[in-house]
Structure 1
Amino acid sequence: MSNYITGPDVVKYACSCGLLKPITRLYFCRHCLELRCGFCVCHEVDSNYCGKCCENLPSAEARLKKNRCGDCYDCPSCKQNLSKRAATVGPKNPEDPKATPRKVYYLLCLNCRWSSRDVGIPDQAAATGSWPERENVHAARLQEIIEMYKGIVLAEKQQKMEKDKKKQRRFMTFTDRTGITASMLRKRIGLPDIPHPLLKPKPKEPEEAVAKEEVEEFPEELLTKPINLNEITTLEQRLNLPEWQPTTVDKLFPIHKQVSVKRSQRCRACEHNVSKPEYSPTSIKFKIQLFAFYHIPEVRIFTVEPLRAGKQCELLLKFSNPTQHQTVITFLPLFPSEDSFASKEIKELVPDEEVPSREIVIEEKQPPSLPGSQPSSLLHTSLSRTPSITVKPRPIKQAITANVELPTSNFVLLPRDDAAEFDDSGDTHNIQDDTKLVVWRKSNKAVIRLNITPLENLNIGDEVVVGFTMQHIYVNTITAVESKEPQRYNNNVKVFQYLGKIVGSE
């Protein structure tokens, strides 16, 4: 059992949208009881901050600064953070005997050793001083074009609002019958037209670009002198400065560091948050962290025998329970028939300290009419919401290249206990496990034996993929209005294991 595979892409879980992701990249919505990946959630920006100085920026200020920090800079050569370094220079008046040396500050990259002195940027007398900005010769032209397009967008919005108002009107007004507006009446009378105070004046259209007939001559130096690649900028360095796009390294200037965002993820079906970080940029904690790693049992490949086409081999899987509640794992077929599809709610609660019996009283429910709908016990609670977006399930596009013999018996996973990791005295839980199924057990972990048979038509080097549906008891700790006791549900998760490649036929 020394071959302990812990790669993140070896075991994948099926998301509700049909994509396969490792458990570390999935969320679990405890309102919908569904797995959600990064494509199944709505991303919302909570705050803007600088990753170096950890300064919070309001959304309006970040938009005004073009999502750049005003005090931190990136190296234009390698895009690493620039550090402020101090140097000692002579006094301003060297003839004065009482004059003392003074300190100056400059920017230095500790990775590629690029310095602000390389491009002639003067040193600053204070470390917090503002460094000189390089002006763009086309700034006025770009601003005129931006203002013109803002006016076009505003005019289109006003036209759309007027159309919507006309559709909402029940009766025809006088201006609709005659086509005469207030501005037209003022012109006929001879009074000056007064624009509406809420309407902004139309921006001045910029001058049209005119092509020049005279162009610069081709420099002969490119053909006569050898090219030194150390003096020419790369394509990535030019795209980092799109306003200037320098061709030589002596024109590289520091780049303002781009601000980062803290974002929260929201479920598309029930609009509840599955992840929400703290507002402070120095905090790495979360207010809401419904990651699947903390709610769904983790499956890892412990060891597998050499894979041969058509030959049965043994597979050992390690299951871990991350929750504080006892759960029962049951193996089901990967693609069950439609008649067996049911959302099962356990009515008889089992205490954590006792081993649940296999005869569990359950109630069969019909499949939900809308995909991603909520369980019946959560529909009338104050925490539930009406689904805003109907998520249509997509088929899982993953070929299964091996058959697995699913055991008929289930096994128990004890709740997580951090202190048990350092206790070598042994477990005191008297659990009667099936010896053919459970190989090893400790605390909240258990190793399960499964028999798999790769397909006979596989060739040497083909990938072997197996899968099954893992049914586990999930304890929903959301306090309901009707019953304040936690609800238990049988949650089904499809798990796929990538075991390796075929090594031979014998």
Structure 2
Amino acid sequence: MSYLVQEDFVRYECTCGSLSPIPKLYFCRHCLKLRCGYCVCHEVDSHYCSNCMEHLPSAEAKMKKNRCVMCFDCPNCFHTLSIRATTRAPEDGSNKGHLKHYYLSCFFCRWTTRDVGIPDQIASSGNWPLKENPHQELLSSFLEHYKVVAMRERSQKDKKPIFPRRGYSTYTEKFGLTNLIARKRAGLPSLPLPGKEVNPASIPPIKPCVATDVIDTLPASYFTDVPDLTKITTIAQRHANPMIQATVASELHPQHRHFFIKRSLRCRSCEHNVSKPEYNPASIKFKIQQAAYYHVPEIRIKTFEPLRAGKPSEIILKVTNPTSHVTSLSFSPKSEVNKGGVSDSVILDSLGAPKKTVEIPRPVVQDEPNTQVELPTEPIVLPARDDAAEYDDSGDTHNFHDDANVVVWRKGNKAAVKFRIVPDRGMKPGDRSIFSFSMEYGYVNTMPTTAEQKSPQRAEMQVNVLIAPGLIVGNLD
């Protein structure tokens, strides 16, 4: 299971120039490029609760502040709270029988709502009392004030000079209703009609905060009593509820569980989806999942000799062909195709809708190789992926004329290739050895590029790989 921890040892260079392990990369089958998390657009498909699996549209989830109504998180350890039932005799002393009462309990840290004085509820559906924010009215007044201010600034920005016209083709064009209808269909807030502005007197006033020099002194118990850290909340517990930020554990109250999201990823260049999950939150399948390890040959470190500065060492890399077509691999020195990354800046039109995307250079920090590598000169052919070959012990039927000094092992669509590396002489014990090379491989694109060309097309692809096998050890005397 050593391959599970090789994420940071073998990294591929994305089209933007950033380095990422292959499980975190995507491959666009339309523009034939590697895409990392910065090269794709993230779109929210649905909001759902990971506990009760309730999914809501984005508008309804926003109204509920992206929190589930039925589920709660433990304020002590942040695990999901469960509903526990108990029986209790009637308080009036009658003989009507025991009544069921419900409370919230955490199965991990044993925290309950009874610890903070929250009364038990008669119904299991909830209606649990939550601690309100003491500054809720002040925050609401700030929010309403700046909503109107933002709308006023937006109306002044979108205001255009009105030129007199002799005639109008439609009634809506005369009174400026076309813009309002378009904004309403786009789900954007309406703006005042041309010629009308927001009245400053209609802006809700806010009470400004006043600084004071009077500070309450600490009680004497802070200096005389021994502090009990079990009764004081941690930074994580306070930040879980930023509105209240309880300082002692007796003031912790459960919070509604945050919604999770299912997102789809879209290529920024051709705007095709590279990942799209199912809408149902209980489903783990994907409608589209173009991860890079389905299309790009995967490289893993199998074994290597101890690394010493200025001394040659052998390293064996295992390469795997994940596609259903035969491919040929060849290795060459790293190419300087990618000079840096780009980020996107979206420009909005007068309606507030995305108008175009402008690419802004994004600096990319890369590790400089400090180890020389001797690459194989002959190409290496890898058969197509065969799931049944993993359980076939009879041997491979492929007849490859491989160099025994280069290819040391084969099985199915996998091959172990031997490389020779020499760390630089100036390296010290404990330094990380890094070498890189460029891998060229053949890719068969089954995605039709045009309406006329529907047959699979073969393309020659190239990707830069950076490998950091380990640390330099001391030289033997």
The alignment's TM-score, normalised by the length of structure 2, stands at 0.84
Cα-to-partner distance string for 1:386-439 (whole Å, 9 max, x where unaligned): x95547696773221222222221011111111111111111222232333211
1:412 matched to which residue of 2? 381
1:438 matched to which residue of 2? 407
Q: Which structure 1 residue ranges, 5 or more long, are not aligned?
A: 174-181, 183-194, 342-366, 373-386
The residue matched to 2:470 in structure 1 has which SS? strand
Structure 1 residues 232-241 or 15-24, which shifts more? 232-241
The residue matched to 2:62 in structure 1 has which SS? helix
Spell out the pairing of 1:29-40 with structure 2 (5 A cutoff).
Answer: 29-40=28-39
Corresponding pairs, count: 434
Please give the alpha-carbon distance, in whole angstroms, between the structure 2 residues aligned to 1:393 and 1:200.
40
Please give the alpha-carbon distance, in whole angstroms, between the structure 2 residues aligned to 1:103 and 1:247.
33
2:366 pairs with 1:397: yes
State the Cα distance separating 1:159 from its structure 2 match. Answer: 0.7
Cα-to-partner distance string for 1:437-466 (whole Å, 9 max, x where unaligned): 211111110111122222222223222111
Q: Using a 3 Å threshold, how does the CA distance of structure 1 residues 440 and 392 change in structure 2: closer, same or farther? A: farther
Spell out the pairing of 1:266-281 with structure 2 (5 A cutoff).
Answer: 266-281=266-281
Q: Using a 3 Å threshold, how does the CA distance of structure 1 residues 443 and 71 change in structure 2: closer, same or farther? A: same
The residue matched to 1:501 in structure 2 has which SS? coil
Q: Using a 3 Å threshold, how does the CA distance of structure 1 residues 468 and 39 change in structure 2: closer, same or farther? A: same
CA contact (8 A) 2:277 2:287 kept: yes
Please give the alpha-carbon distance, in whole angstroms, between the structure 2 residues aligned to 1:248 and 1:260.
29
Please give the alpha-carbon distance, in whole angstroms, between the structure 2 residues aligned to 1:227 and 1:72.
34
Spell out the pairing of 1:358-373 with structure 2 (5 A cutoff).
Answer: none
Please give the alpha-carbon distance, in whole angstroms, between the structure 1 residues aligned to 2:446 and 2:288.
14
Please give the alpha-carbon distance, in whole angstroms, between the structure 2 residues aligned to 1:199 and 1:221.
58
Please give the alpha-carbon distance, in whole angstroms, between the structure 1 residues aligned to 2:48 and 2:98.
37
1:233 matched to which residue of 2? 233
1:326 matched to which residue of 2? 326
2:120 pairs with 1:123: yes
State the Cα distance separating 1:277 from its structure 2 match. Answer: 1.2
Please give the alpha-carbon distance, in whole angstroms, between the structure 1 residues aligned to 2:78 and 2:55.
22
CA contact (8 A) 2:130 2:254 kept: no
Spell out the pairing of 1:279-290 with structure 2 (5 A cutoff).
Answer: 279-290=279-290
2:30 pairs with 1:61: no
Q: Using a 3 Å threshold, how does the CA distance of structure 1 residues 227 and 391 change in structure 2: closer, same or farther? A: closer
Spell out the pairing of 1:71-470 with structure 2 (5 A cutoff).
Answer: 71-96=70-95, 99-162=96-159, 165-166=160-161, 202-211=202-211, 216-335=216-335, 388-390=357-359, 397-470=366-439
The structure number with the bigger radius of gyration is 1
CA contact (8 A) 2:152 2:197 kept: no
CA contact (8 A) 1:5 1:300 kept: no
Q: Using a 3 Å threshold, how does the CA distance of structure 1 residues 501 and 228 change in structure 2: closer, same or farther? A: closer
Please give the alpha-carbon distance, in whole angstroms, between the structure 1 residues aligned to 2:446 and 2:358.
25
Q: Using a 3 Å threshold, how does the CA distance of structure 1 residues 135 and 481 change in structure 2: closer, same or farther? A: same
The residue matched to 1:16 in structure 2 has which SS? coil
CA contact (8 A) 1:5 1:303 kept: no
Q: 1:491 aligns with which of 461, 464, 477?
A: 461
Cα-to-partner distance string for 1:453-491 (whole Å, 9 max, x where unaligned): 222222232221111111111111112322211111111
Q: Using a 3 Å threshold, how does the CA distance of structure 1 residues 320 and 394 change in structure 2: closer, same or farther? A: farther
CA contact (8 A) 2:152 2:198 kept: no
The residue matched to 2:125 in structure 1 has which SS? coil
Q: Which structure 2 residue ranges, 5 or more long, are not aligned?
A: 167-174, 176-191, 344-355
Please give the alpha-carbon distance, in whole angstroms, between the structure 1 residues aligned to 2:80 and 2:219.
36
Please give the alpha-carbon distance, in whole angstroms, between the structure 2 residues aligned to 1:4 and 1:50.
33
CA contact (8 A) 2:334 2:438 kept: yes
Please give the alpha-carbon distance, in whole angstroms, between the structure 2 residues aligned to 1:123 and 1:395.
55
Equivalent pairs: percent with the same residue? Answer: 48
